[in-house]
Amino acid sequence: MTRPAPASHRHGALRNLLGIADLGPDIAAGIAEVMRLTDSFVEVSERAIPKVPALRGRTVVSLFFEDSTRTRLSFETAAKRLSADTMNFSVSTSSVKKGESLRDTIETIEAMGVDAIVVRHASAGVPRQIAHWASSAVINAGDGWHEHPTQALLDCYTIRQHLGELSGRHITIVGDIKHSRVARSNIAAFTALGADVTVVAPPTLLPPSLEGWPVKVAHDLDAVLPGTDVCYLLRMQRERMTEALIPSLREYTARYGLTEERADRLAEHALIMHPGPMNRGVEIAADVAERPNAVIVDQVRNGVAVRMAVLFLLLGSGTEWGGEPDA
Ligand code: NCD
C-alpha cells in the first residue's frame, strides 16, 4: 500500500466533519458513502486481529474539553485499528489550566505534526473556530448544544442494520431536545435519509422556536409509541440547565420516561435507542434497556467502525481502501 498523501494534499471532498451538512450538498449520498465504508470496517473489527495499515504514519489527537467515556475511547480505538498514532490531550493536566489560550493550544498541537484533531467542547462553534486556525482535519465530537455528527452517523448505521433503509420510517426522539447536540445532528441525518421525525418533550425542554426544524412535535408519548419504528431517548442534560425546567425527575419519568408499560406499546420490530450515558430509572426503565429490541450496545459497537470510516475519509489517500490486513 502506498503511503497516504500528507494532510494538505488530501483528495476527496470531506475536509472536516463539523456537522452533518459537511457531508456534502447531497447529505444522503454523503451518509451512504460513510455507511459503505463502515460495512468494510465492521468486517475488519470482527477479524482476529482487528487492525489494518490504512492510516499508518498519521497522527490523530483527541482534544476533549468536556467529559466523555464512549466517544473518546471510540475515536481512540478507531484510530488505532487504522494503525494511526494517537495522542490524548486532557484539559485537566494541560497548560489550559495555566491560562493558555485555545489558539496557542492548537498551534502547539499542530507544531507536533498531527493530521486530525478530534474535539469536544462545551461551547457551540469551537470546532469550527479550530478548523479555521488549523491545517489538520477537524472532527467535531460534540460542541455544546450544537452538533455531534459521528453520533448521528452511528445511529443511522445501527437503524439501517436492524430495519433496513430509513426512508419512510417513523423515528420518535424523546426528552431534552433543547440541550441536545445529538438531537440536532440526528434530526438532520434522519430527515436527509427520508425518515419522519417526531420530537416528544415538555415545552420547557424544546428550543424556543422550532421554525425550520423538519419535525413534528407531540407531548403525549403514549399516543405516538404504537406507530413508532425507533424510539430514541435522550439524557436529561442537567449540566446544561441553568434553571429548573421540569418540576421533578419523578414527574418527568411519569410523563416521558420509557417505562415497562410504555415500552409494551411499541411494535415488536421497533428499536429502543439511547446515545448514553443512560440515567436508568429516569428517561429509561432499567429493564427496558435490556430488552432484545434495545440496541444501545450495538450503537456503541458500531461507533468504532463508523469513526474508522470518518477518519479514513478525512485522512486516507483518497483511493479505495482495499481491505489489506495489517502487514
Ligand atoms: C452524548 C453527548 O455527550 O453528546 N453522549 C455521547 O456522546 N454518546 C449525549 C449525552 O451526554 O447525553
Rg (CA), the chain: 20
Residues 305 and 45: their CA atoms lie apart, in Å, by 7
Reported as a single tens digit per residue, the pLDDT across 97-144 is 666 789 999 999 999 999 999 999 999 999 999 999 999 999 999 999
* Separation of CA 53 and ligand 1 centre (Å): 30
pLDDT reported for residue 197: 98
Q: Are 135 and 16 in contact (CB under 8 A)?
A: no
Instruction: State the SS3 of 232-280.
Output: EECCCCHHHCCCCCCCCHHHHHHHHCECHHHHHCCCCCCEEECCCCCCE
Same fold, 7-147+301-315 and 149-299: yes
Are 272 and 288 spatial neighbours (Cβ–Cβ below 8 Å)? yes
Q: In 3-state terms, what secondary structure has residue 88?
A: strand
Are the C-beta atoms of residues 97 and 120 closer than 8 Å to each other? no
The phi, psi pair for 174, rounded to 5°, reads -120, 130
Cα separation of 118 and 139, whole Å? 5
What gap in Å lies between CA 289 and CA 281, rounded to an integer? 10
Pocket probe for ligand 1: among 69, 76, 182, 241, the residue whose CB has the most ligand atoms within 8 Å is 182
Question: What number of residues does the chain have?
Answer: 327
User: What one-letter code names the amino acid at 117?
Assistant: I
pLDDT value, residue 1: 40
Query: How many Å from the N-terminal Cα to the C-terminal Cα in the chain?
Result: 10
Confirm or reject: Cβ of 19 under 6 Å from ligand 1.
no
Low-confidence ranges of the chain (pLDDT < 70): 1-12, 93-94, 97-99, 242, 318-327
Domain 7-147+301-315 of CATH type 3.40.50.2300: no
Alpha helices, H only, 48-123? 70-81, 102-111
Whether 155 contacts 275, CB under 8 Å: yes
pLDDT at 253: 94
d(CA 122, CA 148): 12
Question: How much is the pLDDT for 318?
Answer: 57
Question: Could you say which DSSP state residue 211 is in?
Answer: T
* 71, 150, 205, best to mutate for ligand 1 pocket (most atoms within 8 Å of CB): 71
Residue 87 — φ and ψ, nearest 5°? Answer: -130, 145
181 lines ligand 1 (CB under 6 A): yes
Pairing assessment for the beta strands 230-233 and 271-273 based on DSSP bridges: parallel
195 contacts 163 by C-beta, under 8 angstroms: no
Q: Is the CB of 152 within 6 Å of ligand 1?
A: no
Domain boundaries, the chain: 7-147+301-315, 149-299
Cα–Cα distances (Å) from 171 to 46, 67, 92, 125, in that order, read: 29, 28, 38, 27
Measured from the CA of 142, which atom of ligand 1 is nearest? 4
323 Cα: distance to centroid of ligand 1 (angstroms):
31
Q: What is the pTM of this model?
A: 0.93
Looking at the annotation, which residues are catalytic? 70-71, 98, 120, 148
Confirm or reject: Cβ of 235 under 6 Å from ligand 1: yes
Contact (CB, 8 A) for 285 and 231: no
Whole-number Å distance, alpha carbon 75 to ligand 1 midpoint, is 14
Cβ atoms of 268 and 241 closer than 8 Å: no
pLDDT at 282: 93
Cell of 36: 459503505
Closest CA to 266 of 295, 238, 242, 245: 295
Q: Which CATH number fits domain 149-299: 3.40.50.2300, 3.40.50.1370, 3.40.720.10, 3.90.1640.10?
A: 3.40.50.1370
For residue 148, give the ligand 1 atom closest to its CA: 4
For residue 277, cis peptide bond before it (omega within 30 degrees of 0): yes
- The pLDDT assigned to 112 comes to 93
